[in-house]
């Protein structure tokens, strides 16, 4: 849909009026489905003027429909976290229409599956470019706005896989481990400016992440020495999904965290990840690796 200059001006003036009435502003990346979708809705239902961003805004039709039915303050906008020009264009739009950002939720990402040996450098680079560098790009553009305000909250969607390894997902896990270290370091840097950093660490969530995951091309070959492992991984996550957390539960945790006067740095979400982290805290690395191998093996199909 093409919006005329006059239409955009009127829209921006309307948004500005909302912000001037002390309405807080939130930005969510990767809002077309899953955690991003649920978070954008819950933020808007909680009173935030919410910019729900996605690489392809055509995928936001369902979100727009819900927002219209409930009269929610949601604006679906284009933003590709791998494209700095796209991010800068979006920041210009927010600057003109809202003039502030109180909450940034870095959610955009996907899961790359396959053993490290089976993954190409291009596949690994693309994973890092979205999951890690995408967060870096958006955060770097938002920080000057928050510093000028003297306030703001950055919420980075990590994973339980940012705290312990998983076979068949080494590249994905690497991005989440990196995000954990990035966020912890960033917290030290920006806290003096009134900015808070929060890590959300879901376990297995009932989202489309595994349906939308990318599998390394070489990992799909039946002659791969890791081919059986990939099949077991899929079966394991299918089994774990039966009692998994929902996107709404993750979104509720985000609202809880940003509503706290002194939020914690880390918020694990889901009985599975909480159990894994509690177990890891009382075991040596070797004991925990053995525990995880046995736990995953018990969920995978037996070899006939």
Among residues 37, 172, 226, 267, which one is catalytic? 172
CA atoms lying within 13 Å on the CB side of residue 302: 2
Q: Are 213 and 113 spatial neighbours (Cβ–Cβ below 8 Å)?
A: yes
Q: Is 266 helix (H, G, I), strand (E, B) or coil?
A: strand
Q: CB within 8 A of 30, min separation 6: which ones?
A: 36, 53, 54, 81, 107, 108, 109
Neighbour order of strands in the sheet with 103-106: 74-78, 49-54, 25-28, 103-106, 152-157, 195-202, 266-269
The total number of residues written for the chain in this structure: 304
Coil, strand or helix: which one is 147?
helix
CA dihedral 222, 114, 234, 166 (to 10 degrees): 140
Q: Where are the beta strands (DSSP E) in the chain?
A: 25-28, 49-54, 74-78, 103-106, 112-113, 152-157, 195-202, 214-215, 266-269
Q: HSE-up of 213 (CA within 13 Å, CB side)?
A: 19
- Tell me if residue 172 is catalytic: yes
Angle ∠(63,210,242) on CA atoms, nearest 5: 90
Q: Classify the phi-psi angles of 183: left when phi > 0, otherwise alpha if psi is within -120 to 50, otherwise beta.
A: alpha
230 to 118, 203, 279: CA distances (angstroms): 11, 19, 25
Positions annotated as catalytic residues are: 172
């Amino acid at each position: 849909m093409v919006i005329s200059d006059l239409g955009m001006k009127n829209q921006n003036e309307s948004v500005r009026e909302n912000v001037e009435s002390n309405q807080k502003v939130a930005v969510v990346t990767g809002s077309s489905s899953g955690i991003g979708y649920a978070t954008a809705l819950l933020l808007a239902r909680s009173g935030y003027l919410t910019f729900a961003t996605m690489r392809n805004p055509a995928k936001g039709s369902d979100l727009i429909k819900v927002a219209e039915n409930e009269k929610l303050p949601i604006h679906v906008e284009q933003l590709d976290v791998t494209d700095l020009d796209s991010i800068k264009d979006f920041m210009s739009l927010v600057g003109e229409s809202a003039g502030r950002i109180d909450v940034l939720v870095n959610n955009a990402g996907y899961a790359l599956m396959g053993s490290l040996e089976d993954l190409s450098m291009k596949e690994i680079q693309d994973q890092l470019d979205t999951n890690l560098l995408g967060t870096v790009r958006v955060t770097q553009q938002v920080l000057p706005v928050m510093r000028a305000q003297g306030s703001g909250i950055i919420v980075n969607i990590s994973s339980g896989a940012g705290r312990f390894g998983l076979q068949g997902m080494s590249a994905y896990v690497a991005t989440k481990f990196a995000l954990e270290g990035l966020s912890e370091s960033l917290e030290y840097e920006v806290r003096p400016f009134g900015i808070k950093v929060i890590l959300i660490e879901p376990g297995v969530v009932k989202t489309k992440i595994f349906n939308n995951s990318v599998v390394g091309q070489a990992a799909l070959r039946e002659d791969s020495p890791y081919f059986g492992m990939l099949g077991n991984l899929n079966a394991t996550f299918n089994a774990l999904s039966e009692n998994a957390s929902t996107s709404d539960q993750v979104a509720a945790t985000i609202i809880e965290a940003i509503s706290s006067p002194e939020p914690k740095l880390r918020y694990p979400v889901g009985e599975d990840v909480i159990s894994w982290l509690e177990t890891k805290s009382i075991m040596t690395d070797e004991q925990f690796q053995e525990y995880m191998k046995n736990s995953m093996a018990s969920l995978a199909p037996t070899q006939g």
